[in-house]
Structure 1
């Protein structure tokens, strides 16, 4: 393989710095405007990297349009990307890594630099073969009774209230829902639903009914994500008004953290009133 040129080294250093910097951002603590800017930055960076790699490999369309398409796809998948990123960070922290974002930033920067400096190290077919070997089909298992009970509580309207739109369809999905094995320790529970008969509308949403609970003096919330009209993911969140935010996250990422019993939760429904969360 020929030695990289000076422009390649400059490009590799700039791209590695950008990837490393954006990997250090904890998107879960950003405000609305900052969060939007972060997502646009992620999409733009992905598009630029894809466009650059297409110059050295077989482009699907052409380098510029490949980059635009990649950036648009990235922006559309940011909800999923951020959930997976948060789960990886929490999993690393639970495994004893003190600074998981710094580790991810280092790995991302090194990988980006290597991709730019040595674009021809592997052929396209070799790269796809490696990806297929690494990322096989995720294993799944039946829905545990405790998770099903929590989901049932979230999908059942509180007393003296009407059923939320889509709740009936989601309750029907409980019969065929399964848990996806993420491959690493996480407080998040990801679902897959086989052949749903009905879908919830809107098909992409955060369920407006949350479950608050206490654990070792910290306040947490269970949040249900709906993806493509199906049960998507049940996540444990640290609310913004929790005064000991860092300590609560540390407990959340520990291997001993467990989901609450139904008797421990308090259901909270979103309201039109500005003061209500």
Structure 2
């Protein structure tokens, strides 16, 4: 009987809920228009609303507000007029009543329309309570979603604050305090890590060493050298003697039965000048 889709609209005090599918009209009667299940939002009474089509038998031209009443004992039918135009025509009233009669006829024995029109209307208090209950159910679900989002945001914020506190107060991830000197956090040397490494991948490992040159390389540190850091001066350049004995690797210099590596001149860039006594 009713369409699956919902029509969300208003006509005067009537809230249109959904459209009904009426029986096919007779060829001579024409199409009436669209029939909707509706509620009067002022009284909460169930209603039927017809939006006439261009081919409808008549179109209202006056504003009438009437109420129909029928009773079985004693039997009578009454037409009560609540509002009528000062120069109202009975032909207009008759045409409207006939139009509504045709609508009810074409609805036939539809169970959905019958159940809608025979339901007990809710008074103002009942209607307000019903709407408040629907709003409460919706807001309760919304509050649950909002609480979950806020809780996740709180956990994320606590995690960020925890990480910042660990960095500010000198804490490692294993919760080991860093030593503090004069209020400044100092990172201790990790016994598991070497202070300096030689990148073997960047050093050629040729089978033949080169002889120690007669003068320093362009990028080699020049004398004076720093003996207390393992440097020795040979031919004006600074070298570090290795434990390895010849044959030396191709990246090492061979001199008087030892293998040497030149000291980089860049190691002097940030070093303060110093003097030493031989």
Kindly name which structure, 1 or 2, has the bigger radius of gyration based on alpha carbons.
2
More helix by share: 1
More strand by share: 2
TM-score (norm 1): 0.17
- Higher RCO, Cα 8 Å, sep 6+: 1
TM-score (norm 2): 0.17
